[in-house]
Amino acid sequence: MTLLADRYQLEATLGAGGMGIVHRAHDTLTDRIVAIKQLRSDLARFQPEVFERFAREAEALRQLNHPNIVQALDTFQRDGEHYIVMDYVAGDDLATALKHEPKMPISRAARIAIEIADALTRAHYLGIIHRDLKPANILIAPDGSARLTDFGVAYLGERDRVTRGGITIGTPDYLPPEVFNNQRGDERADIWALGVILFEMIGGQHPFSAENLPSLMLNVLINPPPDLEELRPDAPLSLVDLIYRMLAKEPSDRIPTARLVGVGLETVIQRAQITPLPTDMRANLGQRFQPPTPVQQRHNLPAQATPFVGRDGELRMLGLMLEDPYQRLITLVGQGGMGKSRLAVEAGMRTINRHISHTDLFPDGVYFYSLTQISGIDKLLTLIADGARFQFYQGESPKSQLLDFWSDKRALLIFDNCEHLTSELELINDILYAAPAVKIIATSRARLDIAGETLLTIEGMDFPDMLTVDLSEYSAIQLFVQSARRSKPGFQLRPIDFNAMIEICKLVRGMPLGIELAAAWVEVLSLPEIAAEIAHDLDFLGTEAQDAPERHRSMRAVFGHSWELLTPEEQQGFSRLAVFRGRFTRQAGQAVTGATLRQLMTFVNKSLVRRDADSGVYQIHELMRQFAEEQLEAAGELEAMRAKHSRYYIEALVQLRRDMQSNRQLERWMDIYADRENVRAAWLWAATNGQFVPLADSIHSMGIFFDMRTQYIEGSALFEQICDLLYKHPPDPDRDRALAWLHGWVTIFRTIFRQVASAHEHLAAMREAVNRSRDPETHAWLNFCIGLVERILGHAPSSQEYFRRAAAEFTALGSPWDNAHALLNLAVSSYFRLESRQTDISMGILAADEALSTLESLGDVYVRAHVLEERGHLATLIEDFDRGLALMEEAANLHRTVGNQLGVGSTLLKLALTRAVVGQLEQGRVAAEEAYALYRDANNLAQIATSLEIRARISFFEGKFAESAELAQEVVHLSLRLQMPEYRISALILRGRCEWALGRLGPCEETFRHAYIAAEDINHREDMSIALAGAILVKLAQRNLADADALIEVLLIMAEHATDFNQIALATSLRGRVMHMLKQYEEAVDHSLRGLTLLRDSSRVRNSYVWDEGLRHEFIALVTQGLVETYRALGRIDDARQTVRDAVALAQRSNFPAVIVAVVISGAGLLFALGQTEEAGALLARQIENPVGFAVERYRASALLARIRDQIGDESFARVVAQGASLSMDDCVNLLLERL
């Protein structure tokens, strides 16, 4: 036997886990049995955080000396291995006990819970939080007592230095809601876990059980636990109530200490007259839950009427600052209404809670002083003395007495609302010098400018910028719901209100006061109505509540107080900033308003304006801007400032048109994106006031901006609004030139969404404007727009002609960049959304090459990256995959170089699909997921849909049909939202293929029917054909030959009318299948061979948006299977063998697992027919266990296996199945080819 540390003789292995092994051992020194936990040596070497976890458990157990905690007896190292020696508990753990007895007797469950509560009371008293409390970590000794073990993820208070930023610690089933919300759990997390365990012991089931982690999180965060009274009618109501209070979602609503849990359980037992506990346990109950009571800390913090919400990051930062001996004065700086006072009080309260837990920072007290009404040092002296219950005496000056009183104290002073103090600040400074152990938190709208001051800027609470899965994780939303329930008890946030809720948060920028004032209206107004009122009426946000400070009874009062603290010059300068929307740069602020840098910094210091430290950009709160705009209008300067503002941003757009032909293009695009609200305001003013020339010169830049970001709805709305304003002015050539640019862009945007009637109306209006303006540039633009419309509508020849005209006219105008842009679109028109028969790839390649040549001479990078992307894609369409991948990689690198994340995403999607086609499935998946993440972050819904579809296609290639179906359905939902029918059709077809692969014939037929109708609506004949082919497959599987043949006739007519080889291949292949099923074998061979010949000829059967390599190989496998069976029926065995060999070779090149499975099954069927029964059986047994195979093929394999079993008997069949299980897919292919 192994002897460790010359003392511990290993006897047996008790268990093994992710961290290591637990041994039973004999301690030869003490002659007792012990348990020894051994850390895995590979983890200790390569995962240092696991070693820290192991060390943490040893440290925790050394401190915990308690009868209900497994005690650590020793720790040691040997040969680089780490060990902990612990008490040996002979019984099972609670998890095992619950398997044998799911519903425990009340008395036993209560006893176990009391003992664990007792153990937790001791641990929490020492500042140790278990964090992984679960039945498996509760051992049951032979005498029935419970022992708590496994402190490997425990939090050791001030000694805890293991960082787990953003990582959830503990077993998910027993984690509380706050941990799922990325907050660090305190002692109440252990109380939650004990509540879950107690519920399990009493109710016989986990209160939040779920099949997967997302569902578990949803149950824990939102759903209530089951009715425990119904599960366990004999449970005392007081016990049920206690468990529910332990499982309160909000930590503040939960029973706060383990001691109180123990006391509550004891009370339950005594009142309910449950079977008495053992005498020794009853005798100790009075002492168990009585840790030493600390002396109550002195404080005068004001009581709060509502629970504190959010601000976790600020509280953590404050906690670190208070612990730092060098940070003595911490000023919370922010606008009025930001919650500075409440945050300071909460920070003070948490230091008091630490005092109760014996981890004291300020033993001499925490004192709060509201300075709103204070003016003069004498009043401040009196206020501070009264708060600390200090009485002045005769002799020294009051100031000297007060400074002497604080000189030896360790206390925290909170001075609230300090922005108006001047000479009084001297006293605060003197306290810091006289009392080295005193710390001060000050709240102010402006910095105090005292030596040693540390600023903590307080801004709005966090809220989502866009609709997310779970709004409840944002503190601004939590505060709104809490506040709304004071006005309307039972208020619930409904999904229909989510967008309005986000808009309210945006309007008040997360300001707590604004949120609370808005929530007060829920009793009489809907959330959309509240958002609309805030947007145009500052006075809407007010309250008559008498308990609110006067300065917080309305937003006007809040801002009015800040306004009165400004000098007249500062008031003028600040009011002028109201012309900006959202943000502005220093250059813009100075150019438009004349504000000096010193003035801007003054506004920052007084929390009127926020400056981003990284970008240097300034921002003004929207509600504060409304207030300032009123002051600007009252001063008679509003229109003059708006004119300067409009001129500045329109000139920036005009300059952008020039910069598009330089390497500054991306930098300028990002500037426009950031300033888009300012640009919108500038445009509206210019259109209203007849500034036609600058407006016309800036429109093209904005159109490209919206197109680049695929913000077609937003672009249409703005451009149509500008059109309406321009039509209010008399006709003018410059006005008409602007209208031509505007109508052109709206035409494009409407066409993208298939709003054809509206697009043609705008195109007609554009023609009229171009004719009236007689401007050659807008005429070239007209040709470009017509080309784009024709391309999107699928009229390829017409589209290409108009793009050629536009390119020539732009060249004649000396605009090479626009010429290259037209050539780029000409290249795209050679394949974009076209049926395969319409593509002209060689023409597209010539256009792309010409565009590249033009752009190289310009030094352009942005459009060149797009052209390289398209040139690479065109190469893949002629199966020049190596060149295509190289060009697209170059394009992706160029997009990254210039920071164009949208371009990166577009190229990644093309790379993903190409890599999937050439069999690089994992690389394709990674590229698609990276693109999806980029578009999700940008909230680009159209490209999110595209990336989801490509991910779905890759999943289909991998044989993950259920996953592919779910992703395709997401695309269907998005396409309806985006009004993009092509996206819906291709997603429906893919979804139908998934249903077919999974063997769900009913849903499959219905999905293909919807796809056919949608394709018919927009006259996409190839899509109609593929959807029809899918429906035919279902009819064939159902052996409904009459309907199948009728549909094939329709398919043949469509194919021959279009002379589309893809469609002809489908129709003839399916007709061959029908002929075989009708036993018309010669006709079956004829049709099958015609179809197979076309399918194998990539020069005639070409890829398009819905016809991909996967679909082609699926039909090749289908035709092969039918043709092999037909040849067998005709006795043409050699032809059958050759057909299988050819199919195997093609399937291997396809790298499509499901097709390889289908071909192997076809070959196995042939082997069976040839009498090679056992070999066929082994191949078939391997295929039916392969999840990547089509269901219909696995059904065929199962039917053949049943025949083989009947033929060779059970014993031989078992041997054959075992042989098949040992084969890899490569083995299967090799065996098949060998036997053929």
Q: Domain 565-636 belongs to what topology?
A: Arc Repressor Mutant, subunit A (1.10.10)
Strands 20-27 and 72-78 come out as unpaired
The answer to whether the beta carbons of residues 576 and 637 sit under 8 Å apart is yes
- d(CA 255, CA 289) in angstroms, rounded, equals 14
- Band of the pLDDT at 521, cuts 50, 70, 90? confident
How confident is the model at residue 167, as a pLDDT?
36
CA distance linking residue 429 with residue 435, whole number of Å:
10
Q: How many CB atoms lie within 10 A of CB 1123?
A: 28
**pLDDT for residue 111 is more than 60:** yes
Distance from C-alpha of 910 to C-alpha of 870, rounded to nearest angstrom: 9
3-state helix, strand, coil in the chain (%, to 5): 65, 5, 30
* Residue 510 · residue 610 · CB < 8 Å: no
Q: Which strand (E) or helix (H) includes residue 33? A: strand 32-39
What's the rounded Cα separation, in Å, for the pair 793 and 384? Answer: 77
Contact yes or no for 560/631 (Cβ under 8 A): no
Dist CA 1047 CA 1224 (whole Å): 40
Select the more confidently predicted residue: 1098 or 644: 644
- pLDDT (tens digit, 9 = 90+) per residue, 328-386? 888 888 877 787 888 888 888 888 776 544 456 788 888 888 887 777 788 788 888 87
Q: Where are the domains of the chain?
A: 1-88, 92-161+168-292, 313-457, 471-548, 565-636, 639-774, 1133-1236
Q: What is the pLDDT of residue 1099?
A: 65
Mean pLDDT of 92-120: 91
Percent of the chain topping pLDDT 90: 26
The conformation of residue 1188, written as its DSSP 8-state character, comes to T
Q: Based on the number of CB atoms within 10 Å of its own CB, is 167 exposed (0-12), middle (13-18) or buried (19 or more)?
A: exposed
* 179-193 residue pLDDT tens: 887 777 788 999 999
Tokens 């209530």 -> residue:
224
User: For residue 1057, how many other CB atoms are within 10 A of its CB?
Assistant: 10
> Does position 163 have pLDDT exceeding 50, yes or no?
no
Which pLDDT value is given to residue 428? 85
Token readout for 872 is 């690479």
Average pLDDT score over residue span 507-532: 79
The string of pLDDT tens digits covering residues 276-313 is: 444 344 444 444 444 444 444 567 787 676 777 787 77
What's the topology of domain 1-88? Phosphorylase Kinase; domain 1 (3.30.200)
- Order of all β-strands in the sheet with 8-16: 3-4, 8-16, 20-27, 32-39, 81-87, 72-78
Tell me which DSSP letter residue 296 carries: P
* pLDDT for the residue numbered 710: 66
Sequence-distant (6+) residues with CB within 8 A of 518 are 480, 504, 508, 530, 534, 541
- Please name the amino acid found at residue 1177: G
Integer Cα distance of 956 and 948 in angstroms = 12
CA distance 1134 to 757: 60
Dihedral angle of Cα 1043, 1045, 1049, 1050, to the nearest 10 degrees: 30
Domains 92-161+168-292 and 565-636 belong to one CATH topology = no
Indicate the fold that domain 639-774 takes in CATH: 1.25.40
Of residues 198, 87, 202, the one with CA closest to residue 148? 87
Which positions are annotated as active-site residues? 132
Strands 366-370 and 412-416: parallel
Tokens of 671: 């500037």
92-161+168-292 maps to CATH 1.10.8.640: no
Mean pLDDT for 432-456 is 84
Whether residue 625 has pLDDT greater than 90: no
Identify the CA nearest to 828 among candidates 855, 853, 800. Answer: 800
SS3 414: strand
pLDDT digits (tens, 9 = 90+) for 1164-1184: 999 999 999 999 999 999 988
Q: Determine the Cα–Cα distance for residues 595 and 579; give it in Å rounded to an integer.
A: 13
Q: Give me the phi and psi of 439, to 5 degrees please.
A: -120, 155
Q: How far apart are CA 612 and CA 597, in angstroms?
A: 15
Model confidence at 175: pLDDT above 50: yes
Question: What pTM, to 2 d.p., does this model score?
Answer: 0.52
pLDDT digits (tens, 9 = 90+) for 221-255: 878 888 898 899 888 878 988 898 899 888 887 88
- Given a cut of 50, whether residue 552 has pLDDT beyond it is no
pLDDT tens across 1032-1060, in order?
989 988 889 889 888 888 888 877 665 66
H runs (alpha helix) in 660-691: 665-674, 676-688
For residue 980, the one-letter residue type is M
At 43, the pLDDT band (50, 70, 90 cuts) reads low
Under the banding of pLDDT at 50, 70 and 90, the label for residue 160 is very low
- Helix, strand, or coil here: 454? strand
What's the CATH class of domain 313-457?
Answer: alpha beta
Mean pLDDT of the chain: 82
- Identify the bridge partners of residue 75 per DSSP, sorted by sequence position: 84
Query: What pLDDT is recorded for position 665?
Result: 55
Q: Considering Cα of 1169, then 1170, then 1171, then 1177, what sign does the dihedral take?
A: negative
Instruction: Please say whether the beta carbons of 202 and 232 come within 8 A.
Output: yes
Q: Please name which of 958, 957, 947, 955 lies closest in space to residue 983, comparing C-alpha atoms.
A: 947
Per-residue confidence band for 554, with pLDDT thresholds at 50, 70 and 90:
low
Question: How many CA within 13 A on the CB side of residue 696?
Answer: 21
Q: In whole angstroms, give the CA distance from residue 168 to residue 181.
A: 9
